[in-house]
């Protein structure tokens, strides 16, 4: 909700007629969610950009022998610089992202779980819930194409990679044995295994497509 409100406010402010032809706003969609972006062209080679991204998605995955439903929430602010080395459509981008993206997980109920190598009845464990967080600041590097030069309306494409750090996983259970010392020891093992299986989220590739309006 916070990101959505910021998107609306930013879009309304930037659409003011006070902005000149070297400024633009854009609507974007891709692997960082949906968002709005503002850019200011310093000269033929350099542009600065700032964007807000939000939304979320869900997917099913089996990790460490347990079926989970994962919810990925996008909430980020990006600030970066574009270099147009040939003063044309192609650009190289680098910047930082305020990373409030998060991943949560909830186990799919079955008759039993294997937690840390020990079998437990699902009625005793309840639902396993996980919260996965990342570094709050994440650098990114990418390339893109901006089909906007000398036009009022155009499209843009960006692809790159985001370094958001190794995921930090916290697992809990809401069943009757959720606070049992022996179970918690097994849960710590399960948590470490889940964290290791999610290490691929350290470097997150992205692709974003946008429609851009220059004022």
CB within 8 Å of 16: residues ≥ 6 apart: none
8 A C-beta contact, residue 61 and residue 18: no
> Is pLDDT at 35 greater than 60 in this prediction?
yes
8 A C-beta contact, residue 69 and residue 104: no
**Spatial CA neighbour of 6 closest among 98, 112, 84:** 98
pLDDT digit string (tens) for 49-91? 999 999 888 999 888 788 899 998 989 999 999 999 998 899 9
DSSP-based three-state secondary structure for 213: strand
Residue 16 gets which letter from DSSP? S
> Is pLDDT at 146 greater than 80 in this prediction?
yes
Set out the domains of the chain in order of their start, with CATH numbers.
Answer: 2-214 (2.40.160.170)
Task: Grade residue 24 by pLDDT with cuts at 50, 70 and 90.
Answer: very high
Segment holding 215, helix H or strand E: none
């Amino acid at each position: 909700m916070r990101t959505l409100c910021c998107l609306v406010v930013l879009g309304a402010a930037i659409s003011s007629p006070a902005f000149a032809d070297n400024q633009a706003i854009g609507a974007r969609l891709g692997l960082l969610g949906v968002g709005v972006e503002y850019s200011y062209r310093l000269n033929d080679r350099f542009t600065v950009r700032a964007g807000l991204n939000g939304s979320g998605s869900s997917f099913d995955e089996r990790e460490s022998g347990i079926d989970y439903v994962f919810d990925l929430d996008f909430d980020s602010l990006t600030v970066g610089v574009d270099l147009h080395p040939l003063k044309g459509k192609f650009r190289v981008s680098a910047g930082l992202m305020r990373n409030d993206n998060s991943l949560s997980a909830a186990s799919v109920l079955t008759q039993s779980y294997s937690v840390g190598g020990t079998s437990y009845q699902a009625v005793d464990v309840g639902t396993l819930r996980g919260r996965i967080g990342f570094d709050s600041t994440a650098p990114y590097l990418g390339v893109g194409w901006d089909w906007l030069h000398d036009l009022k309306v155009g499209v843009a494409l960006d692809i790159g990679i985001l370094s958001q750090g190794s995921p930090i996983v916290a697992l809990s259970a809401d069943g009757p044995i959720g606070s049992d010392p022996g179970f918690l020891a097994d849960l710590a093992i399960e948590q470490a295994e889940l964290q290791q299986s999610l290490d691929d989220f350290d470097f997150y590739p992205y692709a974003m497509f946008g429609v851009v309006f220059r004022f």
